[in-house]
Chain A
């Protein structure tokens, strides 16, 4: 476990964090702008906050929102900058270059790189330092949609192939659900939730994770195709998703937004909705005057449904009730 303990005051803003995060996988730091995400990251790196060893002795890799490469060095020079100053050589340079597909860019001048390419070089440079922890501050935020989609698969590979723990700051719940294993939610400089991605996403009592951010991530294994759909094997039932995803034994992440889940007492027969799952009401949380978030248990996994308070009353929904969850839309995250 990595202990985060930082307190810093900037004018009216106070960041006061004390939390433990796992020393494996990717931990997302999620929050609105101004919640202190970047400040927390800068404190971990020693760029702010004061106290502790100087930045260059901390052995953390830092990927900034804007890829600020060194223009007087070519791509190779930029990547080697960290390697030459690394205390150990735990990271295999060739593997990093391979993973981020930089081999053909090595002799290029940095001004000739696109935003996505520059960010890949910046990530490689940070990794070549053989850091104990990699900090990423919204590395996709400065890119447009297309470049973002180009870069995301590289992050998947980092996630799968890298043994270094990563702290990933983001305000985009879709990005977080795709990449992160753990989640820390920050609000006005304070930690309001920390835990595994699945646990934190299925909580109904976090205002930031209500509304359009509300939704869960499920694990399911793609087993076969039919009518242009992929069938995912899921606890006593199937989930059908448009598109033909490669089948096998590896479970994939499915993201289901709370606004795409509705609840029925009886199994709906005549409906266009493909995916109907038998579930149990676990918790009902009133979000505002009109809406409520309902957590449904499906086996050992959870779903969130966003419904109106009126429907809760009309169906007389209560905790422990056996109901059917209808999933209007499911996206495969990875």
Chain B
């Protein structure tokens, strides 16, 4: 438990983050795919920022935002009487920001690739906009959803800098696997570091392989 506890925590964090990102990211991706507003590049840039920003910069701003004096942190404190920083909930919020582009972009691409007229056809067959989204756009974009889920899960699992800034290193609460590996190396416990690192390595390969293999099969059909 001591060795694999952080791994389990990471999986939980990644699973919750992925779930939230798919549910909240899909409408955002849909809006981005459909909109013709001139603000689109602005929103797209904001969404894509976590890809290029150093995790420490992101972590720094999140720390301030989620801290007891910050806009979100103070509101959370009033609501739950607890702090967001150095807590699992805070990590979830931070991970959602950190992995946002990895969820939104594949879904947006899938929505943009929908054949012309397919939505119009659904409307003329009696489907409202919402109905057409769920009965046509989503099922036709399954590949995008799978990519989004896989990438956000894997990306969240691998985060380090943001977690360190926002979550610290509290066993069972914020001590995720990447932090644990860092700790093991610092204390020269190379055997433990090896075991966790190898597991992550294999996992990352397996997930990416599964996704690319699935993509290949789908595109052949």
Does A pair with B? yes
Chain A residues at the B interface, C-beta cutoff of 8 Å:
45, 47, 54-56, 59-62, 64, 66, 68, 70-72, 81-82, 85-87, 111, 122, 125-126, 129
Q: State A45–B140 Cα separation when bound (angstroms).
A: 24
Interface residues of B in 138-180 (CB under 8 A from A): 139-140, 142
> Contact: B140 with A86, CB < 8 Å?
no
**How far apart are B127's CB and chain A's nearest CB, in angstroms?**
6
Contact of B121 among A54, A64, A85 (CB under 8 A): A64
Query: Contacts A47-B120, A68-B115: A56 and B140 contacting too (C-beta < 8 A)?
Result: no
The B85-134 residues at the A interface (CB cut-off 8 A) are 115-118, 120-129, 131
Q: How many whole Å from A80's CB to the nearest CB in chain B?
A: 10
Query: Is A126 a contact partner of B118 (Cβ separation < 8 A)?
Result: no
Task: Using A68-B117, A68-B118, A70-B118 as known contacts, say yes or no to A60 and B140 having CB atoms under 8 A apart.
Answer: no
CB distance from A253 to the nearest CB of B (A): 30
Verify if B136 is at the interface (C-beta below 8 Å from A): yes
User: What is the CA–CA distance of A126 and B121 in the complex, to the nearest angstrom?
Assistant: 9
Separation of A111 and B129 alpha carbons in the complex (Å): 25
Give 16 pairs: A residue, B residue, CB < 8 Å, sorted on A.
Answer: A47-B120, A54-B129, A56-B126, A56-B131, A61-B124, A64-B117, A66-B117, A68-B117, A70-B122, A71-B140, A81-B125, A81-B135, A82-B126, A129-B124, A129-B125, A129-B126
Chain B residues within an 8 Å CB radius of A72: 136, 139-140, 142
Contact between chains at A68 and B124 (CB < 8 Å): no
Residues of B within 8 A of A129 (CB): 124-126
Q: Is B120 within 8 A of A82, CB to CB?
A: no
- Majority DSSP secondary structure for residues of B touching A: helix
The minimal Cβ–Cβ distance linking A64 to chain B, given in whole angstroms, is 5
Residue picked from B122, B123, B124, B140, most chain A C-beta under 10 Å = B124
Closest beta carbon of chain A to B113's beta carbon, Å: 12
- Chain B's interface size range is 20 to 34
Decide yes or no: A126 and B115 within 8 Å by CB, A71-B140, A72-B140 being known contacts.
Answer: no
Q: What's the least CB distance linking B128 to chain A, in Å?
A: 5
Instruction: Check if B139 sits within 8 Å of A45, measured CB to CB.
Output: no
- Which residues of chain A have C-beta atoms less than 8 A from B121's C-beta? 62, 64, 68, 70, 122
**Cα-based distance from A60 to B123 in the complex (angstroms):** 10
- B125: contacting residue among A54, A85, A87, CB under 8 A: A85
Name the one of A62, A66, A70, A71 contacting B124, with C-beta atoms under 8 angstroms. Answer: A62
In the complex, which residues of chain B have a beta carbon less than 8 angstroms from the beta carbon of A61? 124-125
In the complex, chain B residues whose CB is within 8 Å of the CB of A85 = 125-127, 131
Complex contact A126–B124 (CB within 8 A): yes
CB distance from B217 to the nearest CB of A (A): 14
Closest 8 CB pairs of A and B: A85-B126, A62-B124, A55-B123, A82-B125, A72-B139, A68-B117, A68-B118, A56-B123
The residue of chain A having its C-beta at the shortest distance from the C-beta of B128 within the complex is: A56
Nearest CB in chain B: distance from A257 CB, A: 35
| In the complex, chain B residues whose CB is within 8 Å of the CB of A70 | 118, 121-122, 136, 140
Q: Identify 7 new A-B residue pairs, CB closer than 8 A, beyond the known A55-B124, A56-B127.
A: A45-B124, A54-B129, A66-B117, A68-B117, A70-B118, A82-B125, A129-B126
A54 touches B128 (CB 8 A): yes
Query: Complex Cα distance A61/B124, Å?
Result: 6
CB A63 to nearest CB in B, in angstroms, measures: 9
Chain A min CB distance to B65 (Å): 40
Q: Which residues of B contact A47 (CB under 8 A)?
A: 120, 123-124
